[in-house]
């Protein structure tokens, strides 16, 4: 898959913020107060590699806004991470958390590394090193990291333990997405994809009366993509195509997401699933004539380059930033495509993180079923709320569903900043 230019993501976020500020009738001062993170920390992490040499990795933590509470957002380990990308993603977390009514600001972290090229011991050193460099700036009331692209519960466990070694405190609430033995919830793994499926179901009810029999294509078969496909399938939709970085598969009769996942786990890619009708490219998948398209991989896959060839009726953003602002406006207002924006559609992860954090703070217990039920309730409520605001306070032929979500989120943050005397 192509590596995007991460400055574009930051510029896109600035453009979306500007549109929201204009809709809300707010001034340039508010835009200036919100476009930059409150703090960005760069760290250098030395790792003793298996061959004895020391290799240095660069990482960041961007703390965008804390008006509503401690910064919250994941840490990604990816070879293409840049400071600008982390800044843009931290800004998105501010809006995502505000829109979901969570008591959090927005933050994001990243380390420029290919984690697949590291041994388990190298990965552990890197994870611990990240916390050693940042422990003064994070904590249960300050900034609460979580998993993101290519980070997982084991990495959260090492980070949690490193925090304990430095501070002497078993602060479970300092990080979320932990393994269940360390205060995490198993439901955190399914949360993003399940939440995306619930958001799609609520919008499908408004558009078509439900999901039953609707065709779906999912781009990306990592955590978010696989679970979105699995739950959409369980809800009655037909998954006609899925893909990963090596390519995609298509079957008009529908694919079984679990069977495809087994093949990917065994052989490394969905393309080796033999019961599919044919193989397709990622580009072809995006342009399929389906009811619902779920981009669940990376940023900037639907752009001014391919927007005219997109045929889906609904796009649900499981990834962060897969549709550029230009394509968002074109597809929504010219072609009548409903685009369920990332800050709404993929909020399931951080909503589940909040349940985990609350539970850790009170030293409580919550069952997996109860956690999943709460997530479903919040996702469907939030989706209906954005839909209703879009239709009652805006003109859906001129404004996108993203405009509605951002207007609600930015308004909430601005009000909190005013009350605190920050604006
Ligand atoms: N990394 C996820 C996101 O982009 C989850 C963040 C969290 O759980 O704090 O929303």
Distance CA 303, CA 325 (A): 8
Q: What is the maximum alpha-carbon separation in the chain? A: 63
What is the whole-number distance in angstroms between the Cα of residue 193 and the centre of ligand 1? 12
Q: Which of 104, 178, 97, 98 is nearest to 142 (CA)?
A: 104
What is the whole-number distance in angstroms between the Cα of residue 72 and the centre of ligand 1? 8
As given in the structure block, the two tokens for residue 9 are 């993501």
List, for residues 221-275, the tens digit of each pLDDT value. 999 999 999 999 999 999 999 999 999 999 999 999 999 999 999 999 999 999 9
Residue 4 in this model has a pLDDT that exceeds 60: no
Express the helix, strand and coil content of the chain in percent, nearest 5 each.
50, 15, 30
Distance CA 36, CA 88 (A): 9
215-237 b/e (C-beta count within 10 Å ≥ 16 → b): bbbbbbbbbbbbbbbbbbbebeb
Count of other CB atoms within 10 angstroms of residue 278: 11
What is the whole-number distance in angstroms between the Cα of residue 91 and the centre of ligand 1? 12
CB of 146 closer than 6 A to ligand 1? yes
CATH of 189-345, one of 3.30.1490.20, 3.40.50.300, 3.40.50.720, 3.50.50.60: 3.40.50.720
Ligand 1 pocket mutation pick from 146, 160, 189, 322 by most atoms within 8 angstroms of CB: 146
Provide the 3-class DSSP secondary structure of residue 292.
strand
Closest atom, ligand 1, to C-alpha of 145? 9
CB of 149 closer than 6 A to ligand 1? no
- Mean pLDDT value of segment 373-379: 98
CB of 196 closer than 6 A to ligand 1? no
Distance CA 178, CA 59 (A): 21
List, for residues 190-227, the tens digit of each pLDDT value. 999 999 999 999 999 999 999 999 999 999 999 999 99
Q: Where are the domains of the chain?
A: 39-184, 189-345
Residues 6+ apart with CB under 8 A from 340: 199, 200, 203, 314, 315, 316, 317, 383, 401
CB of 72 closer than 6 A to ligand 1? yes
**pLDDT of amino acid 3:** 47
CATH number of the domain located at residue range(s) 39-184 in this protein: 3.40.50.10860
Give yes or no for a contact between 204 and 167, defined as CB atoms under 8 angstroms apart. Answer: no
Distance CA 345, CA 401 (A): 11
Show which residues are catalytic. 108
Whole-prediction pTM = 0.96
Mean pLDDT for the chain overall: 96
As given in the structure block, the two tokens for residue 325 are 């602002």
CB of 155 closer than 6 A to ligand 1? no
At what angle are helices 368-393 and 348-362 packed, to 10 degrees? 130
For ligand 1, atom 9, the nearest C-alpha belongs to: 73
List, for residues 99-143, the tens digit of each pLDDT value. 999 999 999 999 999 999 999 999 999 999 999 999 999 999 999
What is the whole-number distance in angstroms between the Cα of residue 276 and the centre of ligand 1? 33
- Please determine whether the domains at 39-184 and 189-345 fall in the same fold group of CATH: yes
């Amino acid at each position: 898959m192509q590596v995007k230019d991460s400055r574009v993501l930051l510029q896109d976020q600035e453009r979306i913020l500007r549109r929201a500020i204009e809709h809300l009738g707010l001034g340039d001062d508010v835009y200036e107060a919100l476009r930059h993170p409150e703090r960005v920390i760069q760290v250098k992490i030395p790792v003793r590699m298996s061959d004895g040499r020391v290799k240095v990795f660069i990482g960041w933590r961007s703390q965008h806004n804390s008006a509503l509470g401690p910064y919250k957002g994941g840490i990604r380990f990816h070879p293409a991470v840049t400071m600008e990308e982390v800044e843009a993603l931290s800004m998105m977390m501010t809006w995502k958390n505000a829109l979901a009514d969570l008591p959090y600001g927005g933050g994001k972290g990243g380390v420029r590394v290919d984690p697949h090229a590291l041994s388990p011991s190298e990965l552990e050193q890197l994870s611990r090193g990240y916390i050693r460099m940042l422990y003064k700036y994070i904590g249960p009331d300050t900034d609460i990291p979580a998993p993101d692209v290519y980070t997982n519960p084991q990495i959260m466990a090492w980070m949690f333990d490193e925090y304990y070694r430095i501070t002497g405190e078993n602060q479970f609430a300092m990080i979320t997405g932990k393994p269940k033995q360390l205060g995490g919830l198993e439901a955190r793994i399914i949360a993003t994809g399940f939440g995306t499926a619930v958001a799609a179901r609520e919008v499908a009810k408004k558009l078509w009366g439900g999901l039953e029999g609707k065709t779906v294509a999912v781009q990306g078969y990592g955590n978010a993509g696989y679970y979105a496909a699995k739950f959409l399938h369980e809800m009655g939709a037909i998954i006609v195509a899925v893909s990963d970085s090596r390519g995609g598969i298509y079957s008009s009769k529908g694919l079984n997401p679990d069977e495809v996942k087994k093949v990917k786990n065994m052989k490394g890619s969905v393309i080796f699933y033999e019961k599919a009708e044919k193989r397709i490219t990622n580009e072809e998948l995006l342009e399929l004539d389906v009811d619902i398209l779920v981009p669940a991989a990376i940023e900037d896959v639907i752009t001014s380059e391919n927007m005219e060839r997109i045929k889906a009726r609904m796009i649900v953003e499981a990834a962060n930033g897969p549709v550029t602002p230009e394509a968002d406006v074109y597809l929504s207002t010219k072609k009548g495509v409903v685009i369920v924006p990332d800050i709404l559609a993929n909020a399931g992860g951080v909503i589940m993180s909040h349940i985990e954090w609350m539970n850790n703070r009170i030293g409580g217990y919550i069952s997996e079923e109860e956690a999943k039920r709460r997530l479903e309730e919040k996702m469907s409520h939030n989706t209906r709320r954005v839909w209703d605001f879009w239709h009652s306070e805006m003109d859906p032929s001129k404004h996108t569903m993203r405009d509605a979500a951002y207007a609600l989120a930015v308004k909430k943050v601005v009000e909190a900043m005013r009350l605190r005397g920050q604006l």
